[in-house]
Structure 1
Amino acid sequence: MAKQSRKNTARVGMVSFLNTAPVYETWRRTVNEPAWLLREAPPTVLNHLLYRGELDLAMVSSHEYALHPEKYRILADLSISATGAVGSVFLFARRPLTELNNALVLLSSRSQTSVSLVKIILEDLYRLEPRYEVADMVDEEEGAGEAVLSIGDEALFLAAAGTYPYRYDLADIWYGQTGLPFVFALWAVREEFYRAQPATVQAIHRELKRCLREGLNDLSAICRQVAPRIPMAEDECRRYLAGMQYDFNPAQQAGLERFFQLLIERCEVPPAALPLKIIHA
């Protein structure tokens, strides 16, 4: 019996931002499999844990997959994406975006993907040359920076606070320039774990998709639970979550491929990031 338990053990990493609530909260409430060990952390932490082999599968920044494609496969039908505005990945600025040349831009330390995206937008799309610093926490004091990249719940808080006079939704800019969705996060499994325990991966994959379906069908209850954490009104929370995309359809795959191609051209990731390696439940 103990041997069987070890065989089925899996270390699963999840993000607990508001935008992951349909999956995360439903998993916590409904999944009761002692052999599946849940670890919650911000995206960049999960990236490092998965890369180091301290997790077996996890929701990670899409940039992490592109950076180490030989180590991972992508679980089909699951992502954190947006077609147009995402509402929680913003560049907040004290002056218009086009005036940020040589300006100090503070970068969130919590997401590899958003950092790369804002650099592509500023440098490649707008031909600007800002200066960058990484910030663990946003400093709202005057003079801390001309702009700040903020993601997740922190971005929702700053958007509600109205601290900065200019706010740019990065997914909206991406869509306006490319006509494609942007994929912020993926579910990735370590290649060696998938080869060793394909049945376990398939079972977890099916449960993740079930949690997503149930979570999206019960957004009102989820928003009653999680909206006070920001805080935000329940109806605003529902509109926000209803506007997110959690699948991984052909359009989203095309958007991810465009992003990865730009990263390859910028020499940020290896050419082996393409083609995508996707497994199905």
Structure 2
Amino acid sequence: MNDVALKPRVGAVRYLNTKPLVHGLDSASTPFTLSFDYPAHLADQLSLGLLDVALIPSIEYFLGDRYRIITDACIGCLGPVWSVKIFFRTPPQQVKTLALDEGSRTSAALAKILLAEKIGVRPDLQALPLGSDMRDCEANAILLIGDRAIHPPAIDAVEVWDLGETWVEWTGLPFVFAMWVARPAISTEVIAKSLMEARDGGMENLEMIAEREAAKYQLTTSECFHYFHDNLHFTLGPQEKEGLMRYYHYAVQLGLAPSGRTPIYDDCKIAR
């Protein structure tokens, strides 16, 4: 059996927002194999045992079986996130149908929570498959995430919600979209150390990462840098943990997650 086969398997989100978290992990010395996929797919692979550790949607953490949060590196926001939006073709209070981007289940649950709890709307739901043409979707509102939220098609929208901004204004708390999570019985000390070092290195090199990645996503270097620096937040501290539990509370109320779940944190550094 070769060395690659012996390494733990780690999965990361393929969107632009992950780049600062995986900085330098393409080195031959990285103590695990790293693959990339859509957030929802990563959650499925972790559940099936095809991955040992993955950056999964936060809603999937509460649906998992004894998952552990292994680092304080995460994808979150303290305000507008730019890459998670609902485009309303009718005023939000009049929405009857909502199309949900299949890329991330956390954002889908967040959209349902904000519509139900904030304005009392519970629309019928439609799936918006990855790679579909949003202009062919006839729903009253469309949730888009990731790169296609940053560059949406010409949708005739009367209002747009940035869900990070909407959540923070409504709750006064940060929002956590994804965390590094491990399956039970997986040894993670070395993996967690590498992931936190990668995040720290990414934060120190945002300008370089933006210069490298911007053109791939049809952004200017300045736009890409400000997305990393101003829209995203990469540390799971006490306020972020409180925001995560508030989100879980609303998810339970709407039947989107089972009750009685308590987050399990490995002995990882938590921001003070």
The two structures have a TM-score, normalised by structure 2, of 0.91
Q: Tell me which residue corresponds to 2:147.
A: 153
**Unaligned stretches of 5+ residues in structure 2:** none
Out of 35, 51, 57, the position equivalent to 1:55 is 51
**Is residue 2:88 matched to residue 1:93?**
yes
Q: Deviations over 1:149-202 (max 9, x none)?
A: 0111111111xx553433211111111111111110010000122xxxx3xx11
Q: How does 1:109-258 map to 2 (within 5 A)?
A: 109-136=102-129, 137-141=131-135, 144-158=138-152, 163-165=155-157, 166-193=159-186, 198=187, 201-243=188-230, 244-258=232-246
Out of 71, 75, 86, the position equivalent to 1:76 is 71
The two structures have a TM-score, normalised by structure 1, of 0.88
Q: Secondary structure at the match of 1:84?
A: coil
Structure 2 CA distance for aligned equivalents of residues 7 and 229 of structure 1 = 31
Q: 1:34 to 1:219 in 2, by over 3 A?
A: closer
Report the CA distance between 1:267 and its aligned residue.
2.6
Structure 1 CA distance for aligned equivalents of residues 73 and 30 of structure 2 = 23
Q: Deviations over 1:240-277 (max 9, x none)?
A: 10021111000000000111111222232222322x11
The number of equivalent residue pairs is 265
Structure 2 CA distance for aligned equivalents of residues 108 and 92 of structure 1 = 12
Q: Tell me which residue corresponds to 1:277.
A: 264
Q: 1:8 to 1:203 in 2, by over 3 A?
A: farther
Q: Secondary structure at the match of 2:103?
A: coil
Determine which structure has the larger helix proportion and give its number: 1
Mean CA deviation greater in 88-97 or 43-52: 88-97
Report the CA distance between 1:65 and its aligned residue.
0.6
Structure 2 CA distance for aligned equivalents of residues 207 and 11 of structure 1 = 13
Q: Secondary structure at the match of 2:235?
A: coil
Q: 1:35 to 1:217 in 2, by over 3 A?
A: closer
Contact conserved, 2:74 with 2:179, CA < 8 A, in 1? yes
Contact conserved, 1:26 with 1:212, CA < 8 A, in 2? no
Q: 1:273 to 1:211 in 2, by over 3 A?
A: same
Report the CA distance between 1:132 and its aligned residue.
1.0
Structure 1 CA distance for aligned equivalents of residues 137 and 181 of structure 2 = 39
Q: Tell me which residue corresponds to 2:40.
A: 44
Q: Secondary structure at the match of 1:113?
A: helix
**Is residue 2:261 matched to residue 1:263?**
no
Q: 1:52 to 1:208 in 2, by over 3 A?
A: same
Amino acid at match of 1:131: D
Contact conserved, 1:138 with 1:150, CA < 8 A, in 2? no
Amino acid at match of 1:73: R
Structure 1 CA distance for aligned equivalents of residues 135 and 241 of structure 2 = 39
Q: Deviations over 1:207-257 (max 9, x none)?
A: 111111111111111111111122011101101100211110000000001
**Unaligned stretches of 5+ residues in structure 1:** none
Q: Secondary structure at the match of 1:191?
A: coil
Structure 1 CA distance for aligned equivalents of residues 221 and 156 of structure 2 = 24
Q: Secondary structure at the match of 2:234?
A: coil
Contact conserved, 1:89 with 1:150, CA < 8 A, in 2? yes
Structure 1 CA distance for aligned equivalents of residues 35 and 5 of structure 2 = 19
Amino acid at match of 2:162: D
